[in-house]
A and B are shown apart, each in its own frame.
Chain A
Amino acid sequence: MLWYDAGVAEQTTIVLSMPAGLRYRDLAVRCVTSACHLVGQDADDVTNRDASQLELQRTFDAAFISAFSEIFNNIAIHAYERSGDGGLKLELTPAKDHLVLEISDNGKTFDLSSVPAPELESLPEGGMGIHIARACLDELEYTPGPPNRWRLTKYLRAEGEE
């Protein structure tokens, strides 16, 4: 189910309720990608963006989608143990200079603080998902539930810019 809550003039929240199976991830990624494009002053007119702004947007999109994909995987694989039975709710709030995505699920809880950083030198074949999500976002928060709530925040700005 998709609807819009335009109660706040400057911010709109887009809500998507969907199954948490991996086969639905692509659909969710498309929705999140579209929300990424709503961040920024001239979101409705990409033709006016110069090359550096377009590159900044591509970098932002890639990072946010990378992080979201890993969190979706975590919910589908660990919280719901690949059952495909569970559901999740996405709440996307694009703003002028950042995007906030809150994800709620009712699966098994998770201890985010217990996830170690992977030893990249050893070329790991697992345990990289949370590392990717943390590295790609400005903020990653998790509150165990039910419902469990993830909060992903990323700012649209050039590297090194505060």
Chain B
Amino acid sequence: MALTFSTIDDDENELVLKLGGQLDALSASELLPTIDKVIAEKRKRIVVELTDLELIDSSGVAAIVALYKRSRAIGTKLKVVGARDQPLAIFKLLRMDKVFNMA
């Protein structure tokens, strides 16, 4: 399944980046222009919503880590929500669940 992504910005302080499908070595580069736009918004908070994400690999994790580091650099807080099954297992394995404030 291909990567799907969209942003929800109906809160002036918060921007939601919704990802679905597969975030992997093939699709992670598709996300880069959107990450640039999300960072350029300079909101107080970014929420990465992963309820519909079915599979992530190390390249996909790297894309979210890059977003996290860029957010932190401009003082924006980032959290990741909704991860389940394989994506959640990978974030826990890499000990990133706490870094990304995953419940």
Q: Is chain A's binding surface mostly helix, strand, loop or mixed?
A: helix
List residues of chain A with CB within 8 A of the CB of B95.
120
Question: Contact partner of B57 among A58, A73, A120, A123, CB < 8 A?
Answer: A73
Contact A25 B65 (CB under 8 A): no
List residues of chain A with CB within 8 A of the CB of B93.
66, 132, 135-136
Closest Cβ of chain A: how far from B81's Cβ, in Å? 19
- How far apart sit A128 and B25, CA to CA, in the bound complex (Å)? 12
Would you list which residues of chain A between 93 and 133 have a CB under 8 Å from chain B? Answer: 120, 123-126, 128-129, 131-132
Closest Cβ of chain B: how far from A82's Cβ, in Å? 9
How many A-B pairs have beta carbons closer than 8 Å: the answer is 66
List residues of chain B with CB within 8 A of the CB of A135.
93
Residue A91 is within 8 A (CB to CB) of chain B in the complex:
no
Would you list which residues of chain A between 26 and 45 have a CB under 8 Å from chain B? Answer: 26, 29
Contact B65 A124 (CB under 8 A): yes
The size class of the interface chain B forms with chain A is 20 to 34
Contact B58 A123 (CB under 8 A): no
Residue A59 is within 8 A (CB to CB) of chain B in the complex:
yes
Question: Contact partner of A22 among B25, B58, B65, B94, CB < 8 A?
Answer: B25
Closest to B100 in A: A123
Interface contacts beyond A23-B26, A63-B89: sample of 12 additional A-B pairs, CB < 8 Å, sorted by A: A25-B24, A65-B55, A66-B90, A73-B25, A76-B25, A125-B66, A128-B62, A128-B94, A129-B58, A132-B90, A132-B94, A136-B93
A-B contact pairs, 15 of them (CB 8 A): A26-B1, A26-B22, A62-B85, A63-B89, A69-B55, A69-B57, A73-B57, A77-B25, A120-B94, A128-B58, A128-B94, A132-B57, A132-B93, A132-B94, A135-B93
